[in-house]
Amino acid sequence: MESKAPNISDVAKLAGVSTATVSRALSKPETVAESTRIAVLAAAEETGYRVNLSARNLRRQRTGAIVILVPNLGNPFFSEILAGIETALSHADFNMLVVDTRQAYMKPQLVSEYLHATRADGIIALDGSLPDAVLAAASSGAGAPPVIFACEWTPHDRFPSVRVNNARGGEMAISHLAGLGHRRIGMISGPQDNVLTGARTRGAMEAFAAHGLELDPANLFPGDFSLEAGARAGLSWLDLTHRPTAVFCQSDQMAFGFISELARHGVSVPGDVSVVGFDDINIARRFIPALTTLRQPRTWLGVSAAELLISHIQATSSLAIETKVLEVDLMVRDSTRAIDA
């Protein structure tokens, strides 16, 4: 004879509480005492009881799914953000579905299909360059789930967002190099028309002006946040007659590409040129030389975006469009050095 699957009554009996208390402890743990929550979780573990999420979502008229729109899953920058999102969502009994918006097969109409409450309870977009058709569908309000932007954002801030202070990061990068005595400073930018590029460039230019410096157009190298763009900038730097003694790369990936290309040609970092990155992805402190860079609180960025989305999902009325800005930190390592004025 098959044993009966454990139910909520079994948990309540073992924990010495009512079934209603068990339900609250598992679905809204903040509403019960810590000792009660621990007792209920221990009883659930001992009995093998598992919440039927499908049934719960059906009662709540939800899918239980949150769609995450990522511009490039191959970029290691997004890993910690996704981990932070998953942590916050799992605590609220949501599952995460990740979609790479830049795959060749991912046409705008396919992305738009996720922007309906029958497919997902909410959207977290890490891609600020989504097509207008997708943004229109997301902001229609007609059956569209709440949308939160993280890292990047849309022009005119049409949606709630969580981001870092990118302009401040650009200013800190140039100020650090100027403080080390560098006067001829170059920069590798991000993609043209990208909101991150605009903000980081704006902050950098403010720092140039504050320190009485100018950015020579010959020392501004186009990029797209990738390793390859950094390597191309390295070749351009090598071709210059009057080379910058320091370069601000608007992403760590470009900094790695830039440094590695220079190393292939016998150029030393920071001996011949100082380099600052942006992001502080995991390899930055293990790279040779360890990269001086602006640290984004990526895990907390993901957690904050997920918590903001959950608050919109659970709200009984429309919430105001909120922009949450997190600060960056300058991590000074081995890729920058002082030079004689």
Is it the case that residue 10 has pLDDT exceeding 80? yes
pLDDT, one tens digit per residue, over 159-204 is: 899 999 999 999 999 999 999 999 999 999 999 989 999 999 999 9
pTM above 0.85, yes or no: no
Rg (CA), the chain: 24
pLDDT, one tens digit per residue, over 107-122 is: 656 666 666 655 788 8
Look at residue 96 and give its three-state secondary structure.
Answer: strand
Q: Provide the token pair at 203.
A: 């902050």
Contact (Cβ atoms closer than 8 angstroms) between residue 215 and residue 203: no
Identity of the amino acid at 290? A
- List 169's β-bridge partners, or say none: none
Residues 123 and 134: their CA atoms lie apart, in Å, by 12
Report the 10 Å Cβ neighbour count for 198.
Answer: 17
Is it the case that residue 233 has pLDDT exceeding 80? yes
- What's the pLDDT score for residue 291? 99
Tabulate helix, strand, coil % of the chain (nearest 5).
Answer: 45, 15, 40
The band of 59, judged by pLDDT with boundaries at 50, 70 and 90, is: very low
Is the alpha carbon torsion for 214, 217, 218, 224 positive or negative? Answer: positive
Is it the case that residue 293 has pLDDT exceeding 50? yes
- What's the pLDDT score for residue 116? 63
Contact (Cβ atoms closer than 8 angstroms) between residue 227 and residue 254: yes
- How far is CA 240 from each of CA 226, 232, 243, 333, 338, rounded to the nearest angstrom? 22, 13, 5, 26, 22
The band of 38, judged by pLDDT with boundaries at 50, 70 and 90, is: confident
Virtual torsion, Cα 86, 303, 226, 134, nearest 10 deg? 80
Look at residue 32 and give its three-state secondary structure.
Answer: coil
Full DSSP string of 37-70: HHHHHHHHHHHT----HHHHHHHHT---EEEEEE
Give the CA count within 13 Å in the CB-facing half-sphere of 17: 23
Residues 285 and 299: their CA atoms lie apart, in Å, by 17
- What's the pLDDT score for residue 29? 66
Closest CA to 327 of 126, 107, 168, 132: 168
Contact (Cβ atoms closer than 8 angstroms) between residue 128 and residue 105: no
Look at residue 271 and give its three-state secondary structure.
Answer: coil
| Full set of structural domains in the chain with CATH | 8-51 (1.10.260), 63-164+298-327 (3.40.50.2300), 166-296 (3.40.50.2300)
